[in-house]
Amino acid sequence: MVKLIFKNKFMRNLSLLMSGTVVAQLLTVGVTPILTRLYSPDAFGALAIFSSIAGVLIILSTCRYEMAIVLPKEERVAINILGLCFSICVITCMVYYLLILLFGKNIVSVFEITEIKDVLWILPLSALAMGLYNTLNYWSTRNKQFKRVSISRVTQAGGVTATQIGLGVGKVNGLGLFIGTVTGQMIGSLVLALQVWKSDGIRIKRNLNVRSWLKLLFEYKDFPLYSSTQAMINAASISIPPLLLGIFYNATTVGYYALGIKLIQLPIALIGDAFNQVFFPKFSDHANKNDDLYKELKKATLLLALIAFLPAVGIILFSPIIFEFFLGTGWGNAGVFSSLLVVWLYFSFINRPAVVAIQVLRKQKYFLYYEIFLFITRFIVLFVSAQHLNAFESIGLYSIVGGIFNLSLILIVLKTTKKL
C-alpha cells in the first residue's frame, strides 16, 4: 500500500506536505492542555478577535496576487509576480502601521474591540509575516517544492507554542498568546524565505524586471478586484461569530467558541491545505491541456467527502466529552461549539477543489457575488438569533447556513465544469 502511494506523484506530494502539517498540528494539539491552564477563556477570546482582524489584513497585504504565481506558463512571469507581491506586502503593512498610529484609539472605540487595544501594534507584523509567507508558499507550490513548505510549517508551529508557553509561565497574562502567534509566523516566514533563496535565488535575481510589474498589475487584476475582495468578505464572514458573541454574550463565550473551532479546524488544515497545494498546480495543468476538468473535480471532491465523513460523525457525538477530559474542567462548552460547527466545516472542507477550479477558470467575479450573499445571510442569521437564542443555538444556525452555501457552491462549480 505504501509503495503504491509513493508511486503516485499526486499522493507522494500530498503525503510530503501532510507530514510537516501533522508534526505542526501535533505540536499545537499537544500544548493546548498546557495553554488552557496558563491562559483564561477571556484571553483566548481576545486572541480570536485579534486573529479575525489579522485575517482580513493578511488578505489585503498582497491583494491575492500571490495566487497568480502558479498560473503562468513562463517562469519569468511567475518570478516577477513574486517580486510584485513582496513590494505590495511591504508597502501595505507600512500603511497599516501609519493608520494604527493615527487612528488606533478611534478604531478601538468605534468597533468596541477594547480586548485588543494594547496589541494593535502587532497586527501589521502579523500581516507582513503571513503575507510574505503566503507568497513564498505559492512559489514553492508552483515549483512542487513541498518539503520546504513542510519544514516551515513545523518551525512556525514550534515558534508559536514555545513562545506562548514560555510567556505563559512568565505570567505575562494574555499578551503571551499574541506575541507567541506573531513570533511563530515570523519564524515560519523567515525559514521558508531562506530555503527559497538558497534554492532559487540566482534564478529569481536573473529574471526580475521591475518595469514589467505595472503590466502584471493589470494583467492579473482579477485577483485584487475579485479574489481579494471575496477572500476579505469570507474572512469577515468567518469573523462574525467572535465579534457578535463578544457583543451579545461575553469574552468567556468567545474563548470557548475560539478554542472549539481552532481544534476542529486542525484536521481540516492537516489534510485540506496540503490537498489544496497539490491539487492547484495539477488542476491548472489539466486546464492548460484542455483535459476533462469535470472528472478531475468530481473525483477530488468525493475523495475529500469520504475522508472527512467518519471524523465528522465522531466530533458530533463525542467532542464535548473529549474537550472536558483533554483541556480540563469547564472546557466542555468548547466541545459543544465544535459539534455544532461540524455541518459548516464538513462542507467547507470538501468544497476546496471547487474553490481551486474557480481560481483556475478565472471565475472570481461570480465567487465574489457568492461570498457577498453568504456574508449578508450569515450576519442577519447570527445577529437576529443572538438577540433571542442562547450562544449554542445561534452558532448552530450559523453552521447550517454555512453548510448549505458550501454544498450549493460545489454543485454549481461541478455543473459549470461539466459544460466545458
Q: What is the DSSP string of 152-177?
A: HHHHHHHHHHHHHHHHHHTT-TTHHH
Q: How confident is the model at residue 4 (pLDDT cuts 50, 70, 90)?
A: very low
Q: Give the C-alpha separation, 259 to 251, whole Å.
A: 12
Quote the cell numbers at residue 317: 457525538
- Give the three-state DSSP class for 329: coil
Angle at the Cα of 371 from the Cα atoms of 370 and 374, rounded to 5 degrees: 90
Q: How deeply is 392 buried, as exposed, middle or buried, from its count of CB atoms within 10 A (0-12, 13-18, 19+)?
A: middle
Q: Note the pLDDT tens digit of each residue in 110-164.
A: 655 666 778 888 999 999 999 999 999 999 988 888 888 888 988 999 999 999 9
Residue 65 C-alpha from the chain's centroid: 16
Quote the cell numbers at residue 3: 509503495
* Residue 126 confidence (pLDDT): 95
Nearest partner of 271 among 298, 305, 304, 231, judged by Cα: 304
Residue 189 has pLDDT above 80, yes or no: yes
Angle at the Cα of 28 from the Cα atoms of 301 and 57, rounded to 5 degrees: 70
Q: Note the pLDDT tens digit of each residue in 276-327.
A: 777 877 887 877 777 778 888 899 899 899 988 998 999 899 888 888 888 8
Q: How confident is the model at residue 1 (pLDDT cuts 50, 70, 90)?
A: very low
* Residue 399 confidence (pLDDT): 94
Contacts (Cβ under 8 Å, ≥6 apart) of 91: none
Sign, CA dihedral 92-98-100-106, equals negative
Structural contact between residues 72 and 215, judged by C-beta atoms closer than 8 angstroms: no
What mean pLDDT comes out for the span 316-342? Answer: 88
Residue 267 has pLDDT above 90, yes or no: no
Residue 269: count other Cβ atoms within 10 Å of its Cβ.
Answer: 16
Residue 13 has pLDDT above 90, yes or no: no
Buried b (16+ CB within 10 A) or exposed e, 98-108: eebeeeeeeeb
Nearest partner of 271 among 348, 386, 203, judged by Cα: 348
Q: Note the pLDDT tens digit of each residue in 351-388.
A: 999 988 888 887 878 888 888 899 999 999 999 999 99
* Residue 81 confidence (pLDDT): 95
Residue 69 C-alpha from the chain's centroid: 18
Comparison of pLDDT for 160 and 46, the residue scoring more: 160
What mean pLDDT comes out for the span 95-118? Answer: 78
- Give the three-state DSSP class for 310: helix
Q: Give the C-alpha separation, 418 to 420, whole Å.
A: 6
The amino acid occupying position 74 is E
Angle between helices 41-62 and 123-142 (to 10 degrees): 60
- As a whole-number percent, the residues of the chain with pLDDT over 90 amount to 39
Q: How deeply is 206 buried, as exposed, middle or buried, from its count of CB atoms within 10 A (0-12, 13-18, 19+)?
A: exposed
Question: Grid cell 464572514 — which residue?
Answer: 237
Distances (CA, A) of 288 to 234, 285, 361, 370: 28, 5, 10, 26
Question: Grid cell 518595469 — which residue?
Answer: 211
Nearest partner of 303 among 86, 14, 4, 49, judged by Cα: 14
Q: Dihedral angle at the C-alpha atoms of 12, 14, 10, 418, nearest 10 degrees? A: 160
Residue 95 has pLDDT above 50, yes or no: yes
What's the mean per-residue pLDDT of the chain?
A: 86
What mean pLDDT comes out for the span 98-113? Answer: 76
Nearest partner of 384 among 231, 238, 240, judged by Cα: 240
Comparison of pLDDT for 283 and 394, the residue scoring more: 394
Residue 192: count other Cβ atoms within 10 Å of its Cβ.
Answer: 26
